[in-house]
Structure 1
Amino acid sequence: MSKTSSKTAKGTPAGKRARQIQTRQRQQAQAAARSVREARDGSSRRPVWIILGVVVVVLAVTVLYLIYQNSPSQQNATAGGSGYQHVAGQPGAGTPAPAFTLPSSSGGEVSLADYRGKSVLLYFQEGLMCQPCWDQITDLERNQPGLTAAGVDAVVSITSDPVNQIAQKMTDMKLSTPTLSDPDLDVIRAYDAHKYGMMGESRAGHSFILVGPDGIIRWRADYGGAPDYTMYLPTQKMLADLTAERKP
């Protein structure tokens, strides 16, 4: 074999290794430069993202705090004698009950004035889609002796559904309690009873208001608000709150 051939055979691997080393060195240099750029860019952006993140967290906490503070459960909330969380909205005990006249499921119209001289328990409820609300009326009718013993002469329910649909529901469930239709929420809003339900302010919640023989509110309990959204409670439990909290 010639000297030239020997040099070529020996030189080729060495040249290849040199090129490989140079390639690795170049790649390492490029990676190092890229890391420097990323670190520099990241350090310039990081304070902005940190600041934005802190602002978002602060705003979220503030909003949640305001919602919590203004929820019905924070407005003079009590568990009362029933153990069921409720509040007393406005108009409350000691104030005149707003007058009303509404179509009734039993036919014709019913006015608050019709119950002058009697103690009438107004039950505001969410309506047709709230089966627990109708179960509540069923339980009220089953416990008529307890209501009478507590000084309640009559019960009237008020919701926002059309009167013909309410009448059909009452017939289907074999209920007799006068249930009044307030589709425009005029009466429901007059009693501020639209703030205590699961459907926001588009419907009444689950509120009981006892109006005395003189038209003055003697007791009020709004059970339907946050956080429990109670849509049903046993009548005897409700009467425990009425007995403990009613004003003379």
Structure 2
Amino acid sequence: MSQRPQTKSAKKRPPTKPPKNSLVAERRDRWPFILAALIVVLIGGLYLLYRATNQADGSAGTTAKSDYQVGSPGRGKQAPAFTLPATKGGTVSLDQYRGKTVLLYFHEGLGCQPCWDQIRDLDKAKTDLKTAGIDDVVAITTGPVDLIKQKVTDEHLTSVNLADADLAVSRSYEANKYGMMGNDRDGHTFILVGPDGKIGWRADYGGAPKYTMFVPVQRLLADLKAGQQ
């Protein structure tokens, strides 16, 4: 009986490895995303720690001195006029608040969640603000008005929010000099404008070295009261 010739089993080929240059390029492309994620986690963690610490101090209406700078124009100066597009439609001018006391809040904007938390807390504290003599709050930030409107809707905010897309108004108040983003964004600035259109108080919290992006409302009102005396 003839025997079949034995066939050699096919050798398994090792999986094809991508070129070394391709792997290096792929890893290099991932680094910006990894770095951005780490920065977001770090900033978020620092913010949560800061807020937890300062809410405890601010909830009792403490008058402990806060760290903030005072830019120009400051107290006693005429507040620069402005007209800006509003997220509720149309435009809003500072002149509309003549005869009232309005708190202007310049903030970093779309990428700053603590800034939006600040507006939400101000919305909830309307009674306390009225007691402190504040009739209205107007928030101002850079960015397209449609994107700011979407953020306002997502956060269920009720206050007046204005878009200073070209930073012109922010520069007139020098509110863009006190933040983490250089001169390209606002920091965390509050300016109280009285019924006569003059500035009664100013606090620039967002400057170096702490770059504060959230202030408990009771701490804010304590600073305002102390700053007016």
TM-score under structure 2 normalisation?
0.72
Deviation, 1:82, is 4.5
Aligned counterpart for 1:178 among listed residues 147, 156, 160: 160
Please give the per-residue CA displacement for 1:92-115, whole angstroms capped at 9, x wherever unaligned. 000000000000011100000000
Which residue number corresponds to residue 146 of structure 1?
128
Are 1:209 and 2:188 counterparts?
A: no
Instruction: List structure 1 segments (4+ residues) > 6 angstroms apart after TM superposition.
Output: none
Are 1:229 and 2:221 counterparts?
A: no
Question: How far apart in 2 are the matches of 1:82 and 1:214?
Answer: 30
**Gaps in structure 2 of 5+ consecutive residues:** 1-61
SS at match of 1:157: strand
TM-score under structure 1 normalisation?
0.66
Deviation, 1:161, is 1.0
Task: Say what the alpha-carbon RMSD is for the aligned residues.
Answer: 1.2
Deviation, 1:176, is 1.1
Which residue identity is paired with 1:148? K
Aligned counterpart for 2:145 among listed residues 141, 163, 177: 163
Deviation, 1:81, is 3.4
Number of aligned residue pairs: give it: 168
Question: How far apart in 2 are the matches of 1:243 and 1:229?
Answer: 22
**Gaps in structure 1 of 5+ consecutive residues:** 1-79
- Asked if structure 2 preserves the Cα contact closer than 8 Å seen for 1:82 and 1:238, the reply is no
Say which structure, 1 or 2, has more relative contact order (CA 8 Å, 6+ apart).
2
Please give the per-residue CA displacement for 1:158-216, whole angstroms capped at 9, x wherever unaligned. 00011001111011111011111111110000000001111111011100000000000
Which residue identity is paired with 1:150? A
Which residue number corresponds to residue 74 of structure 2?
92
Question: How far apart in 2 are the matches of 1:117 and 1:182?
Answer: 24
